[in-house]
Amino acid sequence: MPDYNNDDIDMITQKVLKRRPILILGGTSEAYQLAEILHDKQINCVTSLAGRTSSPRLPMGKWRIGGFGGVSGLMTYLLTAKINLIIDATHPFARQITDNARQAARITKIPLIRLERPLWKQQKGDIWTNTKNIDEALTIIPKDKNILLALGRKQLARFANRKEAIFFARMINYPDNQDAFKNIEFIISPPTDCASEKELFLSKNIDCIVCRNSGGSVSYGKIEAARELCIPVIMIERTAVSNIMTVHSVDDILNYLAAAEG
């Protein structure tokens, strides 16, 4: 007879479970920050990146790159890698991977928690027109004006060949199909602080900005710059994610993990 009882077995099971890896669905500044903290705390975790950019910034600790292959591919990954917890820290507008994570978590019964940045709130001086989606935004673009598109690749596609205004798109990398966007001047740079954004907007005589309510601090410089220069913003709203436990900061995740450990 082994010299441990059922309580010991429970405890051992818990300990074994805790050594199993956490999967961070990443690609955001919060996901990089979380990976670094968990790595420092020697918590077993792996960050997954979609692999959209040719030389992505790599997170601390373990990582993998590339799509899983839909819900079934993600489930296979979760079970093969013996994932203990999924933290969906993807961009608030990356909805497909969030939906896949929700389905895969439900079927495999692996806990899922979402880390989603709080929305930006309109402040005094902000000239925003809120729209539900890109199609609605397209209907209110001021004609023949200089428009800065601060959007993702997918949304940009809707502006290909449009001639009603002069378009600029700020991107981290050129899109693969750059030839499809002859009507758009690309500005290849990450989002910057308010002062640099103001310089950019003035140098291109920007009259209006189209962006999404991504939230967070990394790309807030453009919102502050628009406020200071009285440039109108067409703000694409976020739709709420349902049926996933959601927190709004890295600290919230750390508190959740601490509570789960205790």
Closest CB to ligand NAP among residues 102, 198: 102
Q: Which helix (H) or strand (E) holds 252?
A: helix 250-261
Smallest distance from the beta carbon of 93 to ligand NAP, in angstroms?
Answer: 4
Q: Residue 214 CB: number of other CB atoms within 10 A?
A: 22
Smallest distance from the beta carbon of 208 to ligand NAP, in angstroms?
Answer: 20
SS3 label, residue 188? strand
Smallest distance from the beta carbon of 115 to ligand NAP, in angstroms?
Answer: 11
Closest residue to ligand NAP using C-beta atoms? 67
Examine residue 69 and tell whether it contacts ligand NAP (CB under 6 A): yes
Closest CB to ligand NAP among residues 90, 131: 90
Residue 42 tokens read as 């020697």
**Cα 224 to Cα 92: distance, rounded to the nearest angstrom:** 20
**Cα 3 to Cα 113: distance, rounded to the nearest angstrom:** 37
Own/partner contacts of 11-15, CB < 8 Å, gap of 24 or more, are none
Closest CB to ligand NAP among residues 51, 142: 51
Cα radius of gyration (the chain): 21
Stretch of residues binding ligand NAP (CB under 6 A), selected from 7-15, 62-70, 128-136, 231-239? 62-70
Examine residue 181 and tell whether it contacts ligand NAP (CB under 6 A): no
Closest CB to ligand NAP among residues 70, 118: 70
Q: Are strands 245-247 and 112-115 parallel, antiparallel or unpaired?
A: parallel
On the 0-12 / 13-18 / 19+ scale of CB atoms within 10 A, 145 is middle
Stretch of residues binding ligand NAP (CB under 6 A), selected from 9-17, 19-27, 108-116, 199-207? 19-27
> Which one of 35, 38, 46, 68 is in contact with ligand NAP (CB under 6 A)?
68
Q: How many residues bind ligand NAP (CB under 6 A)?
A: 23
- The amino acid present at 12, given as its one-letter code, is I
The binding site for ligand NAP (CB under 6 A) comprises 25-28, 48-50, 52, 67-70, 73-74, 90-91, 93-97, 100, 152
